[in-house]
Every structure is written in structure tokens, then in C-alpha cells.
Chain A
């Protein structure tokens, strides 16, 4: 396979499930290298887990196998899914197919790049703070962050159990619906997976009755870069969006960081004590910060979570089905700007990249990212739609309607 983007970590000699019947029969997929398959290696983007062989298969993979999807191999990712850009000093940075000097977004970097480069039709990613939506935005593909508990995380590498979600990236909302249809639903192996009935997503996206979409034009105009604001507000106009109060993004993001840092650092405590030098410096710094968060601060952030969810649904979504905003307030940055030698402006730039994704994980609600334009550098601009808990069908409907009216998702990277 020709992969100049370093999207793949492992390519199967023969795709798994060849000729198997099912709703996804023949659909070529590959997945972030953190979905375990019994007897196969899952490196998790790390040095520490290099060559580690899983003894169980992720429920999401089992369900895709049963549906006949072709499995082509495993995809690059940020180390332990703990980075928003796609840099990886152990396995090499993943390159953006639109321009290899720019980030793919992370942590599902290979998933975004492989779908954008048409190496696969779809891929699984995980999203704890934006890890499906950032690669979808930077690579110009469609990515769905599911409701917390909608898709089983059994057999997927954990990062932060209160925030971790699994979802698809694909070329369009319709293919995301086809994949979600197969992987969604209760799983006794994941006790937090929900018993909420699974809707017929494939059927529901063809419902073209009008959806109520709300946005916050003033906030977007004041905080997003002009090219981003212009593309996102053009999409808002096309979708007939009305105005609403924006959520308190920064407070919700701060709570997300508190929860994510505390849980990730607890998860990695043994290796951080025994072999801290085997982490990249960027991931080690993030993990170290988590040990300084007091338990009471962590628990208070979780105690406040329900009240914030109710406020979002009763205020921001008071008269609407969906909330519309950019995926990132900035244009896609370069790998140099956001890498180890990014300089003094790097922390601020990373904060801008993640400013509009983490709040969604704190609330646990679903969100869809899809392309809505391109910037002057030729990099995609991502539109983000956010819904109430378990309203994935509504999101996919809106995404499908938008993609019937536009052709951003059909554009192919150069070469």
C-alpha cells in the first residue's frame, strides 16, 4: 500500500473478513492502533506498549467483523491517545494528505489521514477531548463523537473512563451512519454502555424534515479566525440556524481537563513511577500535571457535570435540536508550529485547537464534524454540530442534508 502520510502502522497481508456477507460487506476499514484484536499487536502509539499482543478483541471490532467489514490494518495515533495534533515521536508524525507540513489533528491521526487519502472508506477513532473531531476537521472528513456510553469501549485502550468514547470517521455522514449502526448498543463487557435502544440511523438520515439549528454568531465572529468564521457562518445560513446563548466553553473545558488529567494520570501511575523516560516529553508533562490535581477538585468537577448538561440542553438548545459552531477557532496549524520546537506561542495555539471540543466531552453529548470550506493554505475548515444525549440520528440527518447541498466532502487531496 502506498502510504506517504504515515497513516498505517500495520497492513494485513490479506484483509480480514474478505468475502464475508453482512451490512458492511466489502467496506474497507482500518482502525486506530488501540482497538485490541486477540493475538494481534496494539502499540497504542507508544514505546511502552510496542509489540504488545492483545488477548481480547474489542467489542466494536467484533461487531464490524460480524457485519462483514474488511479490516485492512491498524492506524497511527498520538501516544496513548493523549495529544491533539498527530505528532508522535515513537512512530513518526502522521502527515495531512492536504499538505504534509500541516497537522492531521489527533489523537486519531491515522484515522483522519487514511480516510482523507481514500486509503480506507472508514475508520474507528476514540474521542476523549476531541480526538475524532480534530482529525476530521484538519483532514476534511466526517467524524462522529458519540454519546458517552453509546458505543462499547470494551477492548479499547482507556485514557479517561468518564470521558472516553468510540466513534467512526468516514468520507460522509451516510457512511458514519452505516458504521455506527453496527457498533452502537449495550455491551455487558462495558458496564457503562447504555441500554438506550439503537435507532435506525441509516433510515433516519433520509428524513429530510426540517431540523432546528442554533448558533452564536457574535461569539464565532469575535473568537474564530476570519476565514473559519466566514465558512462556518455560511454553513449556518445554509442550514437556517437561529441565534442562541453560547455555552461557557472555557469553564466546561477546564472541568474536562481536570477530569481527563486526573483519570489519565491514575491510569498511567505504574508506568509513570517505573519508566517515565519511556514517554515522550509532551505526554509525560501532561501526565505529571494530573498528579497535582486534588481529589476534591476532580470529584467536584464530576458532581457539577449533571447541572452543566441540564443547563446546555435547557438554555443553548432551548429551541433547537442542534448547536452549530466551528470545530477549531483557528485554521489548521503546521506541524512545526505545534511540535516540540513550536516556541513560545505553542501552548496558546494548542489551546485554540482544542478550545471548542473538550466542553462536549465534559457534557458527554454527541457531536459531528464535517468539512464546510477550505482556508487560503488549502486546508479544510471543520463545522461542528452538537446534540442532546443519544441524538446521533439527528446529527447524522443534519450532516447528510448538508452534504447533499454542498460538495466539500467530495473534494480529494492533491496527488
Chain B
């Protein structure tokens, strides 16, 4: 997976109308890179899986 960099973060936020203080984009990029995880269940996620699957799981797991 590609790493976040400050320029990409700054451009992404600017496109949404969010102004960043100088130096902030680098901190956000570092935080996003630190938060990226390799989820072991991701590879098994079926095409049909959607958000409502969670509501069904809540019922099944009671």
C-alpha cells in the first residue's frame, strides 16, 4: 500500500474546503500511515458483504 504524504493530504483537504495550518499536513500523513492496518479478514470479504451485514450479525450474536 502506498504511504500518505503531506502534499496528498493538503490537496485532499483543500478540495473539501478545509484549510490546514503550516506543518499540519505532515502530521496528518504520519498519523494516517501509522493507522493503516493489514486486516486479515479483508481478503475473505465477499462481494455481497455490505453495511447491513453488521445488523444481521448483531442479531446472530445475541
Q: A-side interface residues toward B, CB under 8 Å? A: 147-149, 196, 248, 250-251, 254-255, 257-258, 269, 272-273, 276, 285, 288-289, 291-293, 299-300, 302-313, 364, 388-391
Contacts and interface: CB of A to CB of B under 8 A. Distances in A.
Interface string B1-45: 000100011001100111110001001110110011101111011
A288 B62 contact: no
B51 A302 contact: yes
19 contacts: A148-B58, A196-B62, A254-B36, A255-B37, A272-B18, A273-B18, A276-B18, A288-B24, A289-B32, A291-B12, A291-B13, A293-B32, A300-B42, A300-B45, A307-B49, A308-B41, A309-B61, A310-B57, A313-B61
A388 B40 CA distance: 22
A389 B35 contact: no
A364 B54 contact: yes
Contact of B37 (A251, A285, A291, A310): A251
Contacts of A391: 62
A303 B28 contact: no
Given A289-B28, A292-B12, A307 B62 contact: no
A286 B40 CA distance: 27
Contact of B16 (A149, A269, A303): A269
A147 B32 CA distance: 28
A389 B28 contact: no
Given A292-B29, A304-B42, A388-B62, 5 more contacts: A255-B39, A288-B13, A303-B51, A306-B57, A364-B58
B49 A303 contact: yes
Interface of B: 4, 8-9, 12-13, 16-20, 24, 27-29, 31-32, 35-37, 39-42, 44-45, 49-51, 53-58, 60-62
B25 to A, nearest CB: 9
A257 B28 contact: no
A310 to B, nearest CB: 5
A304 B13 contact: no
A276 B19 contact: yes
Contacts of A250: 37
The 7 lowest CB-CB distance pairs between A and B, nearest first, are A306-B57, A306-B53, A306-B54, A313-B61, A254-B37, A305-B54, A309-B57
A299 B9 CA distance: 19
Contacts of B56: 306
A384 B57 CA distance: 23
A251 B40 contact: yes
A252 B9 CA distance: 24
Contacts of A292: 4, 8-9, 12-13, 28-29, 32
A248 B20 CA distance: 34
A100 to B, nearest CB: 30
B37 A304 contact: no
A140 B13 CA distance: 41
Given A254-B35, A288-B28, A273 B17 contact: yes
Among B12, B13, B16, B57, residue most surrounded by chain A Cβ atoms (within 10 Å)? B57
Contacts of B50: 303
B41 A304 contact: yes
A307 B37 contact: no
B31 to A, nearest CB: 6
Contacts of B32: 289, 292-293
A258 B8 CA distance: 18
Contacts of B20: 288
B35 A303 contact: no
A308 B37 CA distance: 14
A207 to B, nearest CB: 18
A364 B56 CA distance: 13
Nearest to A272: B18
Among A147, A255, A292, residue most surrounded by chain B Cβ atoms (within 10 Å)? A292
A308 B45 CA distance: 11
A257 B35 contact: yes
A390 B7 CA distance: 45
A389 B12 contact: no
B35 A307 contact: no
A203 B37 CA distance: 43
B31 A289 contact: yes
A303 B51 CA distance: 5
B40 A302 contact: no
A300 B8 CA distance: 21
